[in-house]
Amino acid sequence: MQADRDFQQMLVAERTLLLEGLSDKQRKALADDYFTNKQQVVDRFKKYTVLGDSPKEIEISKKFNEGLEAFEKTAADKFPLDKEGNIRKFSKAELITNSLGPVNSKFEGARDSLDQLQELILGMGDEEFKEADETYSNSIFLMSIISIVSLFGSVGICIFMARRIDGRINNIVESISNEGQNLENVSNTFKNKSVALSSISEQLSAAATETSSSLHEISQMIKSNTDGSNNVASLIQKSQELVTDGVKSLGDLGRGVKDVENSTTTLANTVEKSNSELNEIVKVFEEINVKTQVINDIVFQTKLLSFNASVEAARAGENGKGFSVVAEEVGNLAKMSGESADEISKLLVDSLKKVTDIVDVSSRDVNESLNLSRDKINKSVEISNQCQEVFTQVLRNFDEVSANSNEVANASKEQLIGVEEVSKAMQEISSSASLTSQSAHDLNTASSELSQAVNHIGEDITDLKGLIIAQIKSARHAVSNVVNFNKTKRNAETKKAA
């Protein structure tokens, strides 16, 4: 029973290590409790295997050792606990699954063998009690028969078989004495068994009380853990909603960036179109410049013609004066036209240079701005995509955490149900221990009464033996008197006849 209690303490320590919020000191204390109880199971069972020698005990002991080895191997693989109370190989959900699955299966297998051994020991105790009770009943019946036979038969046969009956009665008395001694041994055995049973009951009651207290604390911790898991699940759900809104906002931002990129491309096309139109204007300026040069040539030729006309008018004298005035005015007009053409040419050159510079600067600046905008837009799109991927991954992680949190909450609820069932079982065990203690007390009392009865029977046997011996002596004396009387009577009759 103590080994079974140590097994239960191991299970409590293992399940408690799966709780959240434990400090390093608490984890180390639980690990020490786990390994200490495990070693106590091994040590107690080794002590018992030295005492248990029946074939059934040997068979169950072998089965328990095999189950214990399978449990230790599975626990080392699926629940690798170190001396500090750390388990780093698996996640919390995997540890819960392993603890409730393969590790618990091997644990219950070994524990079933231990329960079978306890049932075997209790059964053997019951059989010994039944055998002792049967021996006592047979002895009482045998003594009753012998007493009746001795009382009623001795009177009839003591006259004829005094010597033979004397020997047989001595043998019977000796046999009854031996049976009385056997009853006394059985009574002592009952006393020892009752003392051991009372001690076991007290230990079981104390263990049940201690376990009930531990189960109450564990129940409170599981309830607190369940409430924490529910709060975490609520926070995770709210965070999921926020992340979902963030993902939608990032999607809107990405579409907005795409719209900006499209607008930038449209602006670039518009600027490029404007530059193309400015280039067309530059071409018009160039054509005007060419036409202006043609005008300058015409002005030069007009001046030349005006000069020639003035020369011819001078030669004509009075007749050429009017023509000379016309030639002079034509020359002035040609001069004014030339000056205007020069000014137009200068303006065209300046305008052409300014327009060309504007087109070049505008094209360069717009291209640089467009390239910079494209780079920033591309980076913004890339960052937006990365953020969206991160938020998506965070959302998946939230889903996993939410699932794990729900699993932990469900596991906590199942553990709470299991703890409540174990608590009820421990209360029943405590009640059974009280009943067992009372039964042990009653058995001790019955053993004392049986011992007193055996002593009384021994005294009665001694008295009966003395009485039988006295009756035998009396019978012998009576027989002797009868013989002597008959002998005297025959002698008298002989003398009378003579």
Which pLDDT score is estimated for 291?
77
Three-class secondary structure of residue 53 per DSSP: coil
* CA–CA dist 165, 154 (Å, integer): 8
Q: For domain 1-157, say whether CATH 1.20.120 is its number.
A: yes
Residues in the chain: 498
- Mean pLDDT within 244-253: 76
Binning pLDDT at 50, 70 and 90, where does residue 301 land?
confident
pLDDT of residue 262: 82
Token digits of residue 373 = 């905008």
| pLDDT for residue 178 | 67
Concatenate the DSSP letters of all residues of 187-216 into one string.
HHHHHHHHHHHHHHHHHHHHHHHHHHHHHH
Query: To the nearest whole number, what is the mean pLDDT of the chain?
Result: 72
What pLDDT does 155 receive? 44
Please count the helices (runs of H) and the strands (runs of E) in the chain.
7, 0
Q: Between residues 148 and 452, which one has the greater pLDDT? A: 452
Name the packing angle between helices 102-157 and 92-100 (round to 10°): 20
What whole-number distance in Å separates Cα of residue 126 and Cα of residue 190?
11
* DSSP label at residue 18: T
pLDDT given for residue 189 in this prediction = 66
What Cα–Cα distance (Å) separates residue 112 from each residue in 60, 67, 95?
10, 9, 23
Whether residue 136 has pLDDT greater than 60: no
Least confident of 86-90, 144-148, 367-371, 404-408: 144-148
pLDDT of residue 288: 79
Distance, CA of 455 to chain centre: 63
Contact 165, 472 (CB under 8 A): yes
Would you say residue 152 has pLDDT above 60? Answer: no
Q: Is the pLDDT of residue 23 over 80?
A: yes
The mean-pLDDT minimum among 111-115, 146-150, 174-178, 320-324 falls in: 146-150
- Pick from 80-94, 351-365, 483-497: least confident: 483-497
Output the pTM of the full model: 0.32
Interval 42-67 mean pLDDT: 71
Q: How far apart are CA 254 and CA 103, in angstroms?
A: 51
Contact 440, 204 (CB under 8 A): no
Q: Running DSSP on this structure, what letter comes out for residue 101?
A: T
pLDDT over 90, % of the chain: 0
Cβ proximity of 99 and 14 under 8 Å = yes
1-157 and 246-399 share one fold: no
Kindly indicate the confidence band of residue 399, based on its pLDDT and cuts at 50, 70 and 90. Answer: confident
Domain boundaries, the chain: 1-157, 246-399
Residue 295 has what pLDDT? 79
**Helix orientation angle between 102-157 and 321-497, rounded to the nearest 10 degrees:** 10
Which CATH number applies to 246-399?
Answer: 1.10.287.950
Q: What is the pLDDT of residues 437-494, one digit of tens each?
A: 676 677 678 667 767 766 776 677 677 667 767 766 776 676 567 557 666 766 776 6
Q: Which of 28-32, 263-267, 337-341 has the highest mean pLDDT?
A: 28-32
Mean pLDDT of 92-114: 76
**pLDDT surpassing 70 at residue 393:** yes
Residue 2: the pLDDT is 64
Residue 122: closest CA among 64, 56, 39: 56
At residue 325, the pLDDT reads 77
d(CA 412, CA 227) in angstroms, rounded, equals 10
417 pLDDT more than 60: yes
- pLDDT (0 to 100) of residue 151: 46
Query: What is the token pair recorded at 411?
Result: 């596991």
C-beta of residue 447 within 8 angstroms of C-beta of residue 187: yes
pLDDT of residue 105: 77
State the CB neighbour count (10 A cutoff) for residue 54: 10
Three-state SS string across 105-154, please? HHHHHHHHHHHHHHHHHHHHHHHHHHHHHHHHHHHHHHHHHHHHHHHHHH
Spatial contact of 310 and 331, defined as CB atoms under 8 Å apart: yes
